[in-house]
């Protein structure tokens, strides 16, 4: 170590100083949910502890680094991505440091907090109607595709980009295996793009093929629908789909739990009040599904991925008037 007290050197190597915020992504904690489930076999991977507040920073970094390696992104280019918010934040963080512009295309059911947060990072936000088919020119998928077709614009496409599940295969999966000392018996995760559950499951099953993988799906999503009539609107953000993403390897999922919006939101509030962990709606949904599994399988260590925190949902799930207006009472 060079220099004495009060003398700083750029060559210091023994202090714990990260070179930039991107190097702080990952290594999020596992936390036992002992108040929600006293037997103690239910633990949460708390991804809100990432610097931007969600699991999606892992793939934001991975997708941009892949594009740079392949020569698909150049200084000053514009990144375009349809997002429920969190992937947009992950991309915005990387874009800010790498000198790119970002256009985040969102459905109008996403919270105002998410839109404002993206603008705070310098992104342009384009809001599209939710109640249209994916191939409708007004849908956020179609609008993003049109914008990305312009010169100097690039779409990472989290729904088909192999860097999405690969980020979780390289980071999230190994972290969970190390943190549980290989004792994990069941992984529970919500399914949206399918990247998280695919990447983590692939890694864990390579270590131990007996690890059981449970996907949690909002009622109305295509993943657990038995027919077209079952694919309906729902309010839980960031999970479920009305099409099958290429990033989702459905063969890795052993079973599903289907959770309604009301069940998800009630658990969101319960975990926040009883465990002191401010979770989002998709996290409440995943925990509701994981709690059912933990009760059925008391001898197994159940790990549930909680993808983000609740600050983006203060005007919705944590607002009593919004809950009443949507027929959920005031939660628990």
In this predicted model, what pLDDT tens digit does every residue of 212-228 receive, in sequence order?
999 999 999 999 999 99
> What is the bridge-based pairing of β-strands 301-306 and 255-259?
unpaired
The string of pLDDT tens digits covering residues 158-188 is: 999 999 999 999 999 999 999 999 999 999 9
Give Cα 36 to chain centroid, integer Å.
Answer: 22
- Asked whether residue 44 carries a pLDDT value surpassing 90, the answer given is yes
> 58-94: per-residue pLDDT in tens?
999 999 999 999 999 998 999 999 988 899 999 999 9
pLDDT beyond 70 at 15: no
- The verdict on whether 56 is a catalytic residue reads yes
Two tokens, residue 207:
């270590």
Q: Give dist(CA 136, CA 138) in Å, integer.
A: 5
Which residue's structure tokens are 């100083």?
17
Mean pLDDT calculated for residue range 48-66:
96
pLDDT of residue 130: 84
- Residue 272 reports pLDDT greater than 80: yes
pLDDT greater than 90 at residue 332: no
Predicted pLDDT of residue 254: 98
Provide the pLDDT confidence category of residue 8 given band limits of 50, 70 and 90: low
So what's the pLDDT on residue 1? Answer: 44
What structural domains does the chain harbor?
Answer: 21-49+168-323 (3.40.50.1100), 56-154 (3.40.50.1100)
Which one is catalytic: 45, 56, 114, 316?
56
Q: Write the CB contacts of 19 (distance below 8 Å, at least 6 apart in sequence).
A: none
Average pLDDT over residues 219-245: 92
Where helices occur in 31-123 by DSSP H, the ranges are 56-69, 86-98, 112-120
Expressed in angstroms, the distance from the first to the final Cα of the chain is 54
Mean predicted lDDT score pLDDT of the chain: 93
pLDDT at 239 over 60: yes
Task: Say which DSSP state 300 is in.
Answer: S
Point out which residues pair with 81 in neighbouring strands.
104
Q: For residue 57, is pLDDT > 50? A: yes
Structure confidence at residue 329 (pLDDT): 80
Percentage above 70 pLDDT, the chain: 95
Q: Between 12 and 279, whose confidence is greater?
A: 279
- Write down the pLDDT at residue 17: 85
Cα-based distances in Å from 1 to 13, 16, 18, 227: 7, 13, 17, 66
Condensed to tens digits (0 to 9), the pLDDT of residues 113-164 reads: 889 999 999 999 999 998 888 789 998 889 999 999 999 999 999 999 999 9
Task: Give the pLDDT band of residue 46 (cuts 50, 70, 90).
Answer: very high
pTM value is: 0.92
Return all residues near 247 (Cβ < 8 A) that are at least 6 apart: 158, 159, 160, 161, 162, 164, 165, 193, 194, 195, 198
């Amino acid at each position: 170590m060079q220099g004495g007290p009060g003398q700083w050197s750029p060559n210091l190597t023994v202090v714990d100083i990260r070179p930039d915020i991107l190097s702080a992504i990952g290594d999020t904690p596992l936390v036992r949910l002992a108040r929600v489930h006293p037997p103690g076999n239910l633990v949460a991977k708390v991804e809100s502890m990432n610097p931007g507040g969600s699991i999606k920073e892992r793939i934001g970094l991975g997708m941009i680094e892949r594009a740079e390696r392949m020569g698909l992104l150049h200084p000053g280019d514009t990144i375009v991505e349809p997002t429920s918010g969190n992937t947009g934040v992950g991309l915005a963080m990387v874009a800010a440091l790498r000198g790119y512009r970002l256009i985040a295309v969102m459905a109008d059911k996403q919270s105002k907090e998410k839109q404002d947060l993206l603008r705070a990072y310098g992104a342009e936000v384009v809001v599209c109607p939710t109640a249209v088919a994916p191939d409708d020119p007004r849908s956020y998928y179609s609008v993003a595709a049109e914008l990305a077709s312009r010169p100097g614009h690039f779409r990472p496409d989290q729904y088909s980009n192999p860097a999405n599940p690969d980020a979780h295969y390289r980071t999230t999966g190994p972290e969970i295996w190390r943190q549980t000392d290989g004792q994990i018996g069941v992984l529970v995760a919500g399914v949206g793009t399918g990247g998280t559950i695919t990447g983590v499951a692939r890694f864990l099953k390579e270590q131990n093929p007996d690890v059981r993988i449970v996907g949690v799906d909002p009622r109305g999503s295509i993943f657990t629908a038995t027919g077209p009539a079952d694919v309906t609107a729902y309010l839980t953000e960031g999970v479920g789909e009305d099409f099958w993403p290429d990033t989702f390897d459905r063969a890795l999922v052993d079973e599903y739990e289907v959770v309604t919006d009301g069940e998800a939101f009630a658990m969101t509030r319960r975990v926040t009040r009883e465990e002191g962990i401010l979770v989002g709606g998709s996290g409440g949904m995943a925990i509701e599904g994981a709690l059912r599994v933990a009760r059925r399988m008391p001898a197994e260590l159940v790990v549930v991925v909680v993808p983000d925190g609740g600050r983006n949902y203060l005007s919705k799930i944590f607002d009593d008037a919004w809950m009443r207006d949507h027929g959920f009472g005031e939660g628990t």
